[in-house]
Amino acid sequence: MTEAHPWRRYVALGDSFTEGIGDPEPDSPGGHRGWADRVAEVLSSSVDDFAYANLAVRGKLIRQVLDEQVERAIALQPDLITLSAGGNDVIRPGGDPDVIEERLDEAVSRLSATGATIVLFTGVDVRFSPVFGRLRGRIAIFNENIRRVAVRHDALVADQWALTELQDPQMWAADRLHMAPLGHHTVARMVLDTLGVPNDLQPRSPEPLPPRTWRRARTEDLVWAREYFVPWVIRRIRRVSSGDDIAPKRPEAAPFPAGPRGPAL
C-alpha cells in the first residue's frame, strides 16, 4: 500500500466543533460525525495500522480542555494532534484573547513534548453573523495570538478565517453556532490540505440545502431565537455548559473506522 502520509495515531482535542455537533450521524459514536472523523476516514484509508481518538466535548472552555484532555491525549502517544480550543471563551462576555493565548500556549507546550505534529485552528470570520459579527475584532486578535503560539511551537495552522466558503449560511446548522454537514466537510478538506494529504473530497459535497425564500428565512430567525439563542444566553447566566456530564465520543485510540467490536490500541 502506498503511504500518503506519515501518521499512525491521531488524537483530536477540543469542544463541540471537534466533537462534530451539527453533523448528525446515528451510526457514529455519540451520534455525530464531524470534520475530525472525516479527516480520520481519509487518513485511515492509506495505512493499515492507523488509530484515532476524539476527546472533544461540547461546551468546554480552554481551561477545561487543558485539565481534562491534554494529559489523556499524551497518554495515547499520538503522532498527530488537532487542537481547537478557546472559541467558547472568546465569545463569552469579557472573553480575553490574551488570557486564552496563555492557556493555549501551556497546552501546546505540553503536547509538543510528544514530538507529534500539532494543528491549531483560527476562528471563523463572523462578519456574516448578525449576532456574533460584533465580536469580529476580538476574534481577529484571538487568531493572531493563535498564529503566534503556532510559530513558538512549530505547529501548523488550519486557517478558518481565510476559508471564505464558511461565509455561506448553508455551511451552518440551524442553531447558527455549529457547522452543518457541509461545513464540517469543508473544514475537513481544509485540514487535509494543511497537512498536505492528497484526498478526493469534492467541494460542496455533501450537496447544500436548497435556497431559502425571504419569508422562510424570517420564520427561521424567530425559531432560532426561541430554540437556540435564548437557551444559550440562559446557560451563560447560570454558568452551566452543554457539555456537563458528557463523555468523549472516542476516548481510546482505535482502528478507524472502528466496527462495533473494534479493539482499543
Q: Cβ of 140: how many Cβ atoms within 10 Å?
A: 16
Q: Is the pLDDT of residue 31 over 50?
A: yes
Phi first, then psi, for residue 38 (nearest 5°) are: -65, -40
Half-sphere exposure of 162 (CA within 13 A, CB side): 10
Q: Is 220 exposed, middle or buried (0-12, 13-18, 19+ CB in 10 A)?
A: middle
Among the listed residues 64, 169, 188, 200, the one whose alpha carbon sits nearest the alpha carbon of residue 121? 188
- Confidence tier at 176 by pLDDT (50, 70, 90): confident
Average pLDDT, the chain: 84
Rounded CA separation 92/74 (Å):
29
Q: What is the mean pLDDT of residues 198-217?
A: 62
Q: Is the pLDDT of residue 224 over 80?
A: no
Spatial neighbors of 173 by CB under 8 A, at least 6 apart, are 21, 22, 179, 180, 183
pLDDT above 90 covers a percentage of the chain that reads 65
Q: Higher model confidence: residue 6 or residue 244?
A: 6
Q: What is the mean pLDDT of residues 216-242?
A: 51
Q: Higher model confidence: residue 243 or residue 106?
A: 106
Q: Is the pLDDT of residue 123 over 60?
A: yes
What are the C-alpha distances in Å from 157 to residues 63, 152, 154?
Answer: 21, 12, 10
Query: Does domain 9-209+247-255 sit in CATH 3.50.50.60?
Result: no
pLDDT tens-digit profile of 73-106?
Answer: 999 999 999 999 999 999 998 999 999 999 999 9
In this structure, of 228-232, 238-242, 257-261, the range with the lowest mean pLDDT score is 257-261
What's the pTM value of the predicted model, to 2 decimals?
Answer: 0.79
Q: Is the pLDDT of residue 239 over 70?
A: no
Amino acid letter for position 69: Q
Spatial neighbors of 119 by CB under 8 A, at least 6 apart, are 80, 81, 82, 83, 155, 156, 157, 158, 191, 194, 195
